[in-house]
Copies of this chain bind each other. A is one copy, B any other.
Amino acid sequence: MLPTPPFAPPYIAVIFVNSRTAQDDAGYGQTADAMVALAERQPGYLGHDSVRGADGLGITVSYWTDDAAIAAWKAVGAHRAAQAAGQRRWYAAYTTHVARVERAYAQPDASDATVAGECPAEA
């Protein structure tokens, strides 16, 4: 897996840091996959990066155009049901930080070409 290239700031990053319980791996995996597929169809979704370590700690960062896109995503019924199940069964603990990205950069430089409004030839 490669890092998602940066977008043109400003945009919103939702940083979800979580610790899994040992319960219901199959149910968790199915729901996590379904939520990714659903998020990708939401207006204002830009992308995400997600990693889980061997010790059960996970970080998922999703990128969104603006606060309205996040509010709409929070209101989706299937997403609300998944969050409730997560709180009951799948997560021992989690912290969410909602943050406005002010600058972003990448290596190799080619990734920077995805920043809208910048022409690599002129950089």
Q: How large is the interface on A (under 10, 10 to 19, 20 to 34, 35 or more residues)?
A: 35 or more
**Chain B residues, CB < 8 A from A57:** 1-3, 49, 51
A62 to chain B, nearest CB (A): 11
B100 and A104 within 8 A (CB): no
- Of B54, B96, B106, which contacts A95 at CB under 8 A? B106
- Of B19, B102, B107, which contacts A3 at CB under 8 A? B19
Q: How many copies does the complex hold?
A: 2
B1 and A49 within 8 A (CB): no
A15 and B17 within 8 A (CB): no
Residue A42, interface by CB 8 Å: no
- Of B51, B96, B100, B105, which contacts A51 at CB under 8 A? B51
Binds B, one of A24-32, A33-41, A73-81, A86-94: A86-94
A1 and B59 within 8 A (CB): no
Chain A positions within 8 Å of B, measured between CB atoms, are 1-6, 13, 15, 17-19, 49, 51-59, 61, 63, 87, 91-108, 111
